[in-house]
Structure 1
């Protein structure tokens, strides 16, 4: 049986970044991914400023930035009137080298990190390795994987579950995953149609509020992504149909004859694991928490998990820091951010676009106008939405 310091289940952005941080820190690591490659998931595509700072510290930012778009401005648009409320992250240029969002699909980060991990003798990434069993004791974890030809076993000091929303590790641990699932589905349409030519001064990131059909318009290097709610009573086939696609784009652009590269449907949840650390098995990313995509907070939170956790694992493995106290602190810090900020903020973001909530749509939008006119409140809002505030709050958790 082979031995390694840390096994990571899942080769998404959280798993691969955790592996890279560990390898750079001098810890041996094995990443096991059930699929044949990093999943080409199109949902997450926004990297916030503090996340870019973390990537820069790891020497990742420059390469990733070449595969993305710099987006300092994001807009809220009122669909009924065309009104635009714009926020400019450049206002935070006095506190960060990265006063903008980077728009790049998450799989670009994962694949880049897999390539980089190949340069570390102490790191391995194994595809078509599906975790089928693990057993932990006081000294470590024995992990079993099913491959196309056999069952292999690895002995590690720790197991990181970065295996996503349907985490088998979380389920086998019996962790309570508290929260709810939205009744509607979410539909994402990707197209190379020049949507920007049909709106005045369209930003790369746009949240379009409407009581009848809100939507999000996001630009990545080669495509526009259109995200909107879809009636769960309709079949996935009907929602992905040409007829539905034509209807959506006709209302958006006055032209339904738009070719799409992808049509994706998924369910959306607001859930948080009751605890992230379970002995020598630790949850990170979507295995630990889920939220709606409005605001781009989910993947960024997962990357923040990975950075926080791997710094602790390096101290535990190389410097003999106390594992139980380090991992319990990780749990307290990261769950506080998720419960106090990410869950509340993403729910609020959705209500804003739906033009719903206790204040009603018009009142909520007027609040946004007033906030945008006040330099002090606007800066506080930018710091909160870009995740600087929540990270500072987490640092204060004892």
Structure 2
């Protein structure tokens, strides 16, 4: 079997890559170890430029119909309600979508899968090995069979088989704390005045985040100092922490939950010969700010354009431009911003928290400063920087 491109991983990044390449006339096959699109508790924030990218296809309209438009987001202090609110309408002259959209990432994957030719994705089909030959072809092994391709793209996440075959590693750090993510239908808006759809909140006992989807809230919490990860993931612990936020709340039911460690890591090169990386296989960051999935999708749009050109006869070294354009943005925009967001929310000193709020309130009060801040936090600045790199 021979395909122009083999993609490993049928998450939102891998399926975006496949959809783009097939739409541009490339033969593609995707291998996925899971038996179906995963609807696990993962990313849910779509930034304006990502929505712009999917608009023409009709995918954005599908996501909007299934998600929740969030034109503002906040950083706030729980006890006194002091806050700063950012309004993305400041970017109305830049985008058709001046808002964040809160929608489960699986809805994007499902929309992409419906647009792929039947048989493009092989589910329940783990890849056992990846490599490339001296004669100029890449390959994967599936079920004992070797399948050749012009290029193999790893969209296979933090434990990427393709990255291992390239001989590169995710350099960086793993943060010491774990994060518990849970969903509940508890109406936080009835108990916390003036909530936005996206809220990063300082609390005397730590910090938490609240993101509103159409039918529920997602809450991010952190284990207590004396809690094991297993204890922190119990319904009892999640309910107790939520009760500490809203003491007079009625019965709290946990719909979904997961616990994870947060990383700040990136590879030295997104390409080695005919093997390439995108998304979490190439870079991992804190979820604060919701840039991980979006950054991977932006990788896919960038790489697919270059790969089509090379397959049509452009010089092979055009693919090196992919790393030159996307890696600095991941390192200096996505990872750096996510790290700054994490550090800001980790501040415990009340005076320092107030100083942060005052500084950000001054930014919001200055329209030009607010626009610059939101251009960067909404990922437009990084995309423009990448486009300027030749």
Q: 1:260 aligns with which of 250, 254, 262?
A: 254
- Partner residue of 1:34? 33
- Partner residue of 2:67? 68
Q: 1:331 aligns with which of 306, 323, 326?
A: 323
Q: CA deviation at 1:230?
A: 2.2
| Residues 294-373 of structure 1: pairs in structure 2 closer than 5 A | 294-317=288-311, 319-323=312-316, 325-355=317-347, 360-373=352-365
- Partner residue of 1:144? 141
Q: Go from structure 1 to structure 2 and tell me whether the alpha carbon gap of 1:199 and 1:308 turns closer, same or farther (over 3 Å shift).
A: same
Q: Go from structure 1 to structure 2 and tell me whether the alpha carbon gap of 1:356 and 1:276 turns closer, same or farther (over 3 Å shift).
A: farther
| Residues 272-311 of structure 1: pairs in structure 2 closer than 5 A | 272-311=266-305
Tell me, what secondary structure is at the counterpart of 2:177?
Answer: strand
Q: Go from structure 1 to structure 2 and tell me whether the alpha carbon gap of 1:12 and 1:212 turns closer, same or farther (over 3 Å shift).
A: same
Contact 2:16/2:297, CA 8 A, preserved across alignment: yes
Q: 2:130 aligns with which of 117, 126, 134?
A: 134
For 1:207 and 1:144, locate their aligned partners in 2 and report how far apart those are by CA, in whole Å.
44
- Number of aligned positions between the proteins: 387
Tell me, what secondary structure is at the counterpart of 2:222?
Answer: strand
Instruction: Give me the TM-score of the superposition, normalised by structure 1.
Output: 0.93
Q: 1:226 aligns with which of 214, 219, 227?
A: 219
For 2:340 and 2:252, locate their aligned partners in 1 and report how far apart those are by CA, in whole Å.
32
Q: CA deviation at 1:217?
A: 0.3
For 2:234 and 2:35, locate their aligned partners in 1 and report how far apart those are by CA, in whole Å.
28
Q: Go from structure 1 to structure 2 and tell me whether the alpha carbon gap of 1:193 and 1:25 turns closer, same or farther (over 3 Å shift).
A: same
- Partner residue of 2:110? 111
For 2:218 and 2:263, locate their aligned partners in 1 and report how far apart those are by CA, in whole Å.
20
- Partner residue of 1:52? 51
Instruction: Give me the TM-score of the superposition, normalised by structure 2.
Output: 0.95
Tell me, what secondary structure is at the counterpart of 1:263?
Answer: strand
Point out where structure 2 has 5 or more consecutive residues left out of the alignment: none
Point out where structure 1 has 5 or more consecutive residues left out of the alignment: none
Contact 1:160/1:284, CA 8 A, preserved across alignment: yes
Contact 1:68/1:104, CA 8 A, preserved across alignment: yes
For 1:127 and 1:152, locate their aligned partners in 2 and report how far apart those are by CA, in whole Å.
16
- Partner residue of 1:91? 90
Summarize deviations over 1:285-309 as a string: whole Å, max 9, x none: 0000000000001100000000000
Q: CA deviation at 1:56?
A: 1.5
- Partner residue of 1:184? 177
Q: CA deviation at 1:356?
A: 5.6
| 1:216 maps onto 2:205 in alignment | no
Contact 1:211/1:355, CA 8 A, preserved across alignment: no
Q: CA deviation at 1:221?
A: 2.2
For 1:356 and 1:157, locate their aligned partners in 2 and report how far apart those are by CA, in whole Å.
52
